[in-house]
Amino acid sequence: DAGITQSPRYKITETGRQVTLMCHQTWSHSYMFWYRQDLGHGLRLIYYSAAADITDKGEVPDGYVVSRSKTENFPLTLESATRSQTSVYFCASSARDRIITTKNIQYFGAGTRLSVL
Amino acid sequence: RKEVEQDPGPFNVPEGATVAFNCTYSNSASQSFFWYRQDCRKEPKLLMSVYSSGNEDGRFTAQLNRASQYISLLIRDSKLSDSATYLCVVSDQAGTALIFGKGTTLSVSS
């Protein structure tokens, strides 16, 4: 019962480098999400995806790129990392249902702690 | 106005105490409501969904007032293991994205 896994768990990189954070879920959930969590801001949505090949911007998408070629994977790429992107990144997934609203529950991965030096 | 606002905390209570957290949200068309719990350096985990009729899960009781756009969480007989940050969470109008409050920290001491 793997659920939702993120890799790497910890990453240190330098400004200007490209970094990709991986997210994989085994539930076949249609929706997947990327958040960042910073002190004083709480969890903020970066991007989300409703299905394979369908992605949409969240609250703070600038500097990030996502793709979803397969339902189970939703990688997040920082094209040119900046110090302001130092954060904890969480991936989440949900089944999503308009009628059964409890299916809007999101399940989170363990997070990736990213430091940009 | 922030979309989801919570008591700032922290709440420091002794074991056995009853503690209540409050939350207000700005989007009257929100569909789903939850309380999540987040332990230090861990991911958020669902504590309970919140229904209009109010609901209870053991020592935890959640209430929703749609007219006032207000959500509450009551914890009775607090345990040391209840120490965590509690996040008030509201869905957007479509029920797709979740909007998180900044959280309220609870510390239960012996």
**B99-110, pLDDT tens digit by residue?**
999 999 999 999
- Residues A91 and A27: their CA atoms lie apart, in Å, by 14
pLDDT values of chain A reduced to their tens digit, one per residue, 117 residues: 569 999 999 999 999 999 999 999 998 899 999 999 998 888 999 999 999 999 999 999 999 999 999 999 999 999 999 999 999 999 999 986 655 656 678 999 999 999 999
**Which DSSP symbol is given to B22?**
E
- Residues in Cβ contact with B40 at an 8 Å cutoff, skipping those fewer than 6 apart: B84, B85
For residue A73, the Cα-to-chain-centroid distance in whole angstroms is 10
> How far apart, in Å, are the Cα atoms of A115 and each of A81, A88, B88?
10, 9, 27
> How far apart, in Å, are the Cα atoms of A43 and each of A88, A93, B54?
9, 15, 26
**Two tokens at A26?**
């085994």
Contact of A53 with A30, CB cutoff 8 Å: no
For chain B, give the percent of residues with pLDDT over 90: 78
Closest CB to A90 among B31, B43, B97: B43
Which residue does chain A place closest to B85, by CA atoms?
A: A42
- Quickly state the pLDDT bin for B51 (edges 50, 70, 90): confident
pLDDT at residue number A97 = 62
Question: Taking an 8 Å Cβ-Cβ cutoff, which residues of chain B contact chain A?
Answer: 31-32, 34, 42-46, 49, 87, 91, 95-98, 100-103
Residue whose entry in the numeric block shows the structure tokens 């990327």: A34
Contact of A72 with A26, CB cutoff 8 Å: yes
What mean pLDDT do residues B44-50 have?
A: 94
Contact of A104 with A96, CB cutoff 8 Å: yes
pLDDT at B32 over 90: no
How many CB pairs (< 8 A) connect A and B? 50
